[in-house]
Amino acid sequence: MCVPTTVQPSLVSPDFLTWLQNISEEAGAAAARAEFARLSSASKPDPDRLTPRAELCAELGICAQTIINWEKTGIVTAHRIGRRVFYRRPEVMAALTTNGLAQPDGTRRNARRGKQQKTR
């Protein structure tokens, strides 16, 4: 059986070419929609995902000792795997609102490095 590798231009009708172009555009659009859906679902944070302490500190703009203090006072719950400490992001955000803690703005009020030293 012989399979032609090229199509003679005189054998192809303009309707066939239009149909072929529409099919390829629809297939490309469907592939683009599928890829967009995959990427948009991947960018949503998973609520069950455990977040490491350092990552959570960086996102909230607070130091690690603040989260450790919240853990000691029972404001947030830490999940330990070996020596590593993780937190659930929804639990931390809920604790911020229910315990009257303001959303951290990234500045540490009593930081020693930023405080001006008194000269004697």
Kindly report, residue by residue over 22-61, the tens digit of the pLDDT: 777 877 788 777 776 776 665 566 667 899 999 988 888 8
Choice among 4-13, 46-55, 95-104 with the minimum mean pLDDT: 4-13
Of the two residues 71 and 19, the one the predictor is more confident about is 71
d(CA 65, CA 72): 10
| Nearest residue to 75 (alpha-carbon basis) of 101, 51, 43 | 101
pLDDT of residue 94: 87
CA-to-CA separations, 84 to 29, 51, 80, 116, in angstroms, rounded: 44, 10, 6, 35
Residue 71 binned pLDDT confidence (cut-offs 50, 70, 90) = very high
Confidence of residue 85 (pLDDT cuts 50, 70, 90): very high
Res 87 pLDDT > 90: yes
